[in-house]
Structure 1
Amino acid sequence: MKIFEIYKLLILLLVFIQIPGYAQSEKNMIDNSIVIPLKIGKNSSTQFETLVLEPVNLFIQSKPVNEHSPHIQLELNIVDDNRRYSTFLWYYERSSSDQKINYPKAYQNYSFNLKINKEEVELVVKELDFGKAMFIDLGQTAVIGNLTILFEDYFGESSVDINGNQTDAFNTYHISLSEKNEQKTVSFMSLNKQVGKEPSIEWRDYKILILEDSEKALKLKVFKNGSPKKKPH
């Protein structure tokens, strides 16, 4: 066999060979996003830009054992350099017109979403964008454009009557907002204490709607004004 033919054969082998433990997902990458088909149980790790995505376990049950058990749940690890973020994406279907989800999950610049078509489930990863809802887990950071949002912490509070019986309970949440060299920590109360209002935060050129709150995650939607606001003199 000629040397040139051997060289061509080696090139073909390098194209089709797979790295052990990693899914070859380039075919599913479009415009800084990736779609990963999932199977029940453990799935192969996938390299996406600087992240290693580890779909640890996909669990599907058509008839949940109780009302608190999800129909579909994905345990997902995200490894970025020396950092590891572990989370769950779940889907409940109370009825054909009543579904509850806790995704897209935000981590750094990316959103992690489940695309469900009957028994077929895909993990969809793309860059975060303005005007789209996202969930931020406690202690995690989302980066949209130049804006960084950190769900810092929360404090549980309650009130009691004269007999010492608890009459009310709510949380106060703290999130940190930063852009370039400016930073601000803002606080807000549980949504059930803000009836009749549109809970939102305005800072610099941004408006952040607070859609859902819990001790584990906040559901937010971020908008950026078309023109920058003038700073007061």
Structure 2
Amino acid sequence: MNTTAQPFDAAQDLADAPATAGARQRPRDAATLILVRRGRRPEVLMGRRAPGHVFMASKWVFPGGRIDRADFLAAAATEPDGPTRARLEAELVPRRARALCLTAVRETFEETGLIVGRAAPAASVAGPWREFRAAGALPDLAALTYVARAITPPGRTRRFDARFFLADADALLAPEPTAGSGELDEIAWLPLEDARALDLPAITRFVLDEVSERLGNPDRPLPFVRMVRGAHQVTHV
């Protein structure tokens, strides 16, 4: 494990949402999924948050969101693979580690209509997994690789302890996104170099660079980004 200072602009990072008196607000567990189409010009799936959002309005982000109670109970076609499972369970109890993988898949489906899963008989279930299961699929958790962790700095309107996962587009049952829930007003596959030119939150830019490096070196240590004594710190494990 090693710890390094990183060239984050903390003021810009905090400006992604209005400051509040929530410095002591406890971060909520969340998960984000970076879908990648490999090739000569690798592409990532990103969406622009609608202008009316309090949190990161009009910013381009990867699909994701906070954990839901239903994610602890949802069925899956496959389980997280060895390295991803081991890394998550070094931080979390196994039940919560698995639930966060399911969060990443569910949020991606809700926001983009894309299914990271395997075909299965349609099933009728209650709650936020209803439409996913009705589409005739079960989540493919083995397709996810745990690649980064970040805790939202104090002072944000909302705080998350976010785990970032990477998955190949080959794991999708259909290759193109739909309108999803409407939380993202534009969704697109973008070459990495084009994505860097967008209006991105500081952490999204950091993770985008991490993904670019990881495509050539999949065994890179996992970065953990957080604020310590007013400065961003990155620990690699």
Shorter chain as denominator, the TM-score bin is under 0.3
Q: Which has the higher contact order (CA 8 A, sep 6+)?
A: 2
Q: TM-score, normalised by structure 1?
A: 0.20
Where is the strand percentage greater, Structure 1 or Structure 2? 1
TM-score under structure 2 length normalisation: 0.19
